[in-house]
Structure 1
Amino acid sequence: MDLKQIINLHLRGLSNRQIALTLGVNRNTVNHYLRSLQSSGQPMEALLQLDTDALEELFSSKTTINNDRYAVLMRFFETMHPQRHHPGFTLQYHYQLYAEQTQDSYSYTQFTTHYQRKYKQAKGSMKLEHKAGKELYVDFAGKKLEVVDPSTGEVSQVEVFVATLPFSQYTYVEACKSQKREDFIQCLNNALRFFGGVPVAIVSDNLKSAVTRSSKYEAVINKTFKDFAHHYGCAINPTRSYAPQDKALVENAVQLAYQRIYYPMRKMTFFSIEALNEEIQHHLKGYNNVLFQRKEASRKELFQSVESSLLKSLPQTTYQVKEYARAKVQKMGYVYFSADKTYYSVPYRYIGSQTQIQYTSKHVEVYYKSQRIALHNRVMSKGAYITNKNHLSSTHRAYSQWSPKYFSDQGGKIGVNVKLFMTGLFLQGDYPEINYKRAMGILMLAKNYGHERVDKACLRAVHHDTYSYQRLKNILSNNMDEHEIEQENHQSHIPSHKNIRGANHYQ
């Protein structure tokens, strides 16, 4: 509002109503300004000689415009402004929406001018603009919490992990046993599940569990953290060493956690880390639901309305920390897994090759030149041989199938008598494995002498109750299978007599 125009029209003798109609403002607005000018104690002519800044100092900075047209515009700004951080936001697009739904709309120039007046850009120190869904800041709090052992009364200090999305400042807090790699990765897993998605990058401090070698310009990220990022499809961006301003938001989140989580729990005693985390989550809900002082929304509302949809979907499986070992493939086609002292099979063509073993609490993977060649479920049984039959050569695969039934069935394909011979062979002794080579030798005889001759030879051997590979071979080499089997006379040459008791009496 140009105050000098009101003064000029007033000095010309126009009424307040006429001034309002001339300038296109509400009559009450003109009444307000004229009362304020008159109450200043200075004549109108003297006020007209003042510059604009001096005149504006006589009035409150709060607008007194109260017409319906302006009110409609302000209500539209209130719904439009929270969306300004969405990718692709433009004033031109929203002006078109405003013009379509408003009968007496302002021009585009007035639209932008009123918007910039209502939401002035703060100037001075640099403020980083954070894009929704782009980064997740993570750190451990400097102050620890305590857990008491219920049986001994021993007090243990536990670490507190904090993760925050800088755009909405939606925050996750969890207590864990240490800052070691396994605990750090588990906290990150839980944080991503809490947010329900994955940001473009994770910004971490130069923790030992995250960075192998810190640097102001190019930090070296450890292998596990890289593998974690690859699993979730995000990047890792460590902050510069000795540059706390790079992680100001997460530092602020830590300070707020002290106020809104630590302090309310200061008189409570926890006997397990699970109970402690349950109470932390209770206070965390209130922390995320508190309205910002200068915004009309809470952290949770900003996250749900803007940021959650911009996060990448979580993979189906949760990342598990991997350990690494090296092993050479043995002649049997197995690698020795020293952690559990067990053996795992790999395809036989890699015999003699150096491989890398990657393992978790559930699986063991074997890699050759960055290519996975074997995957097994982890079996923690010392000395066990874990075998995938597809890894064996045809010879080894057949060997793994050997059993008394297997050889009996193979013998049945040659002849009925061969099957009877195989059955009798394995009835001898308590350890059938010693007869596997003999059974293989008998099957090879069928290739050399033919099925018919071997079947006849087995008939002769079974008739004489003799189950020997060498005896069977002698029958074939001496052509005894070609002769008729003589029926033996089992009648004793000793005459029968009631005083002769026989051999059974002396057993």
Structure 2
Amino acid sequence: MEGAVKIVYSRIYAPLRKQVYSSLSELNAAIWIALETHNNQLLRGRNYSRRLQFEEIERSALAPLPVLRYEFKKQLHATVMKNGHVCLSVDKHYRRATPYSVPYRFIGKKIKLLFSNSLVEAYYHYERIALHKRVKSPYNYSTDKEHLASTHRFVTDWTPDRFLEWASSIHEDVRLYIHKILDRKQHPEQAYRSCVGILSFAKKAGEQRLISACQRALSYGIYNYKTIHRAAGRTILEKNMDQYEDSLFADELPMPHHDNIRGEDYYQ
């Protein structure tokens, strides 16, 4: 190894060191020329060069390169959710991990995920059941429509009709909001988790507050779970925004009480 470094230094670096190059591509081109000159020189005490030896002996012994470049892979285990997707938990630091679809028959099964920087593979009992490009952007789904229950004569516990019926039992405006969420997704399964999250607020905060929150969210014209739970960094239900009158929003929200806020009376 040290001998090879010495040869490269004397045959490539030395001839180029006094030249001035204006770009990396220009320098690389000069290196290739110097390298080719080095490979074509006769070996000391031999009547052949490195290039000649390669072409006559070594090239025919080379195996073809792999179709895909080698990538280091890691693995973890996860349970397939009722919407037919599974999340790569290591990507949670990207705000929200991208769910990847697997065939619907594996719903509820624990599978192995084998992932690299560019691909995500799902295995069940040593059989690969799904292959996806790895997606790190938040709030996206990687879905193969052939994996989904709605593509087949199979119905899971979660269906659009069930969510719409559940929402209708609360209020028509809640049903309308759930309908908007389902309608915006390319595949209904992609919206199931949002539907469950929104409708569960009926127990957490009360039906009336959920109704008010959906009515206000409908006026925003933005249809997703984040609008109800975390709209623009605020939470409609947790911040009691659903209880404000529309007239308050027409001007400004009431100033919250806080020791670090002086209030308007201070300046009078």
Structure 1 length as normaliser, TM-score? 0.28
Larger RCO of the pair (alpha carbons < 8 Å, separation 6+): 2
**Larger Rg: 1 or 2?**
1
Structure 2 length as normaliser, TM-score? 0.49
